[in-house]
Chain A
Amino acid sequence: MKAEQQLKLQAWVDGELAEGEARQVAELVRVDKEAQAIVGELRLAKSILAGNELEAKLPESTQFYWNKIQREIERLGKPEVASRPASWVFSWRRLLVPLSGVALIAFLSVLSMNLFHYTAVDEGLKHLVEVENLSEHVGSISYKSQSENMFVVYLYNKEQEAEKDPELEPMDDTLVQ
């Protein structure tokens, strides 16, 4: 029997053949004595080994073995601590940060328009530009110039800034005139 056929018999024994090919090999085994002998020997070798591996025991004490592992781990440094799994709360927060920024801009726009309106009506209210920022994620710095008729609000991400740079950097500039 050719080596190629022998290997096909083995693949059949190991369940590695496609259905069509497996049917052909099964037919060969049914009629061919040599194929039957080879398949018999392959199955015998498989069955002898199945579940009969020698169970070798570690030839040194667990403590001694572990100490060596620990020393090597410490020598090489600590692994990266597993990152916090992304939950829906974190996913939503990523979305909410820019949204809250947009909402704040809209709020300031309305507020500033009203303020300038009041300025024209009542001069006493012209310095009352106070912005209350309720967002815990977005910080804001505002600047008003009556002479330029200009109102500027700087928005920034509080968390990012705290992590990266202690100096505030504007995340978004808004100019309301």
Chain B
Amino acid sequence: MASHPEKPEVPDEKLVRRAQRGDMIAFEGLVARHRDKIYARAFSMMRNEDEAVDLSQEAWVKGWQRLKQFQGESSFVTWMTRIVINLCLDQLRKQKRQRAESIEQLDEELGGVERQMPTVTVNPTEGLERGELRARIDRALNQLSYEHRTVLILHEFEDLEYKEIAKRMQCSIGTVMSRLFYARRKMANLMASYKREELS
């Protein structure tokens, strides 16, 4: 009896090979297996449920269409994650073009506010349970500008180097470094402020 593609004993590589030969059931198995991860990446970047669902679906469709190009140099889920990241970046760029950029926004990108912030020296997350810590990180990410949030996600969660981030975000390495620096400063300060809230 043929095993169901969703079963963990069927490795991704095997499902991918079958899908590359046009087997849509195998591809459905891959979608079922990795749907949450691809959706989660879209959501972390877009901060909007509907957009994240739409973009993650679009990523799966693109993945199917480009499956022939997948050579197995990275894992399948990493390859899919790169597709959804690129779609989110395109979408964010479109949205940015649509909204008028205020002086404050530009100032924030260049670290205008973050420059004045005190340096955080004590770990504001000590003693927190993992669930609470994750919820606070999510809350802080929500308060960052999309440029700061994206650069943090790509560097800290996707382990991309400065050069790779610059390529994907279509900016210079210097801009990536600057955004990352101020994003980290803001993140540390937001976490410290949540700690103060908790204590007051």
Asked if B181 contacts A46 (CB within 8 A), the reply is no
Complex Cα distance A58/B33, Å? 12
Residues on the B chain within 8 Å of A53, using CB: 40, 44, 134, 137, 157
Is B191 in contact with chain A by the CB < 8 A criterion?
yes
Complex Cα distance A8/B42, Å? 31
Asked if A48 contacts B125 (CB within 8 A), the reply is yes
Number of A-B contacts (CB under 8 A): 131
Q: Which residue of A lies closest to B137 (CB)?
A: A52
A37-77 residues at the B interface, CB under 8 angstroms: 37-38, 40-42, 44-50, 52-60, 62, 65-66, 68-70, 72-73, 76
Residues on the A chain within 8 Å of B20, using CB: 81-82
Asked if B44 contacts A37 (CB within 8 A), the reply is no
Complex Cα distance A11/B163, Å? 12
Most chain-B Cβ atoms within 10 A of its Cβ — which of A45, A57, A83?
A45
Residues on the B chain within 8 Å of A166, using CB: none
B interface residues, how many (CB within 8 angstroms)? 53
Instruction: List residues of B whose CB falls within 8 A of some A CB.
Output: 20-22, 24, 28, 31-32, 35-36, 39-40, 43-44, 49, 52-53, 56-57, 60-61, 64-68, 111, 119-121, 123, 125, 130, 133-135, 137-138, 152, 155-157, 161-162, 174, 177-178, 180-181, 184-185, 187-188, 191
> Top 9 A-B pairs ranked by shortest CB distance?
A45-B184, A56-B40, A82-B20, A54-B138, A49-B156, A58-B39, A56-B43, A45-B188, A7-B177
